[in-house]
Chain A
Amino acid sequence: MWSSGLDNHSNNKTNNIDNGNSGHGGGSRIISSSSSSRSSPSSTSSILLRTPRRRTMEEVWKDINLTSLHHERRFAPLPEPHHHHHHHHHRAMILQDFLSGPCFTVSRANAAVEDIPLPPPPPLLPPTALSLSSGRELQYLGGGGGGGGGSALMNGHSRSSSNSNGSRVHGQANNNDNNARSGPFMSPSFSDAVIGPSSPAGFFSFCSKKRVMPEGPGIGGDRRYKRMIKNRESAARSRARKQAYTNELELEVAHLLEENAKLKKQLEELRLAMDAQLPNRIALKRSSSAPF
């Protein structure tokens, strides 16, 4: 039973990551089709079975979990015998470590995910535990708005709220995005939810600079907001500068053209006057200029 639950976990994880990566072999798809729903929990056994086909995901998870494992070492690892069992098998167990890690304070992390009661969130979370931990946070906080947190695991939870369901469809990348944007949920876990460099490129496409990246409860968002406002003002000033100068040039051009036309006309008239007078000048002749 637990194996099936874990299967669903990893299944969803794979699915989500693959969705974010926008392109993956059939392994995850097969798993997803076999599971009851896309959000259904995946199982470790499926991971074990499908390891050869999941190189991509494994590499990703290996990177992510390298950091998470560091963090897990801080906490007393939950002594789950089946976890250890899986540990020895292959790299995919890194995922299991993760599952048994600090973000899973439930005794039966491997159990059928649907039945796991919602535990209180741990105070510290691995920084790369984007979807996993933050998803949990969202659910802990009552899962309003934002939603995104749902990782595969979170989605697999039966109590995963509609938020998770919604985010799940868009894959991991969107989860990250939702995590970043969950303003009302500025929980400490979010401060750790920094997107690591190991994330697939698909993540970054959703995490442009425009997204709010909370550094702390409300503080980071404020700073970012102020910066954005300042930037907008600066951009408006720049546009105004450009428009003002352009207008000035247009006015000047119109003025100069008018002046030019006027001067040319004057020149023409003077030339005519000169021509009319010219014959008089050529012939020197006496003329009376005396006043009397």
Chain B
Amino acid sequence: MSGDPLVLGHVVGDVVDPFVKSVSLKIFYNNRQVLNGAELKPSAVVNKPRVDVGGDELRVFYTLIMVDPDAPNPSNPTSREHLHWMVTDIPGTTDATFGREIVGYESPSPVSGIHRMVFALFQQLGRESVFAPEMRPNFNTRSFAREHYLGPPVAAVYFNCQRESGSGGRRFR
């Protein structure tokens, strides 16, 4: 049963609609690249990651959104989605440090359950066309993208995170 990890992990469906990946997106925590569905501890993701964006040219700008769709609890996600980070105006072929951080990086700290932490990359129509939302909880990536004419995502990556002393997950390793 082979399939797209983003689909199997229900990232496509809960956060974004089906899309075609067209730009490379590489996330690194502590020099280790994040693979979809990997498990990272809160201590490993306490600081913002390095984000390498692909694309063809410097004149195309991208917005990176990081959300937790399983807040506060995956079986009862009443705060879906919780906005953790938003960087806009990232020039193509560069990394997130070249963009503007309009929502500061908030370290993931799940209390209960195993949460998915989703990065979604969108191509902007033009520079300075994306504005910070009002609140972090109950953020909606779909509607935000629609409001700012971001179109479908061009790339997405996600990892799993549970509380530091959690005992679930990774049993199959």
Residues of chain A at the chain B interface (Cβ within 8 Å): 230, 233-234, 237-238, 240-252
Contact = CB atoms under 8 A, between A and B. Distances in A.
A233 B114 CA distance: 13
Contact of B169 (A230, A241, A243, A252): A241
A19 B75 CA distance: 43
B75 A244 contact: no
Contact of A248 (B1, B36, B74): B36
Interface in B1-59: 1-6, 8-10, 35-39
A192 B36 CA distance: 51
A234 B160 CA distance: 14
A246 B170 CA distance: 11
B5 A244 contact: yes
A230 B112 CA distance: 14
Contacts of A252: 35
Contacts of B36: 244-245, 248
A252 to B, nearest CB: 6
A240 B35 contact: no
Contacts of A240: 8-10
Interface of B: 1-6, 8-10, 35-39, 74-75, 114, 160, 168-169, 172
Contacts of B74: 234, 237
B35 A244 contact: no
Given A240-B8, A240-B9, A240-B10, A245 B37 contact: yes
A242 B172 contact: yes
A247 B3 contact: yes
Contacts of A233: 75
A245 B38 contact: yes
A46 B109 CA distance: 69
Given A247-B2, A248-B37, A249-B35, A241 B9 contact: yes
Given A249-B35, A250-B2, 7 more contacts: A237-B74, A237-B75, A245-B160, A246-B172, A247-B3, A248-B36, A248-B38
A238 B166 CA distance: 14
B5 A248 contact: yes
A64 to B, nearest CB: 39
B75 to A, nearest CB: 6
Contacts of A242: 172
Contacts of A244: 5-6, 8-9, 36-37
A250 B3 CA distance: 10
B135 to A, nearest CB: 26
Nearest to A242: B172
Contacts of B114: 237, 241
A249 B8 CA distance: 13
Nearest to A252: B35
A227 to B, nearest CB: 11
A172 B159 CA distance: 51
A230 B75 contact: yes
17 contacts: A230-B75, A234-B74, A237-B74, A237-B75, A238-B168, A240-B9, A241-B160, A241-B169, A242-B172, A243-B3, A244-B6, A245-B35, A247-B37, A248-B36, A248-B37, A251-B5, A252-B35
A235 B169 CA distance: 11
A230 to B, nearest CB: 6
A59 B48 CA distance: 67
A245 B157 CA distance: 12
A247 B9 CA distance: 10
A252 B157 CA distance: 13
CB-based closest 6 A-B pairs? A245-B37, A244-B8, A244-B9, A248-B5, A248-B36, A244-B37
A251 B7 CA distance: 14
Contacts of A243: 1, 3, 8
Nearest to B3: A247
Given A230-B75, A252-B35, A247 B5 contact: yes
A241 B37 contact: yes
A12 B172 CA distance: 51
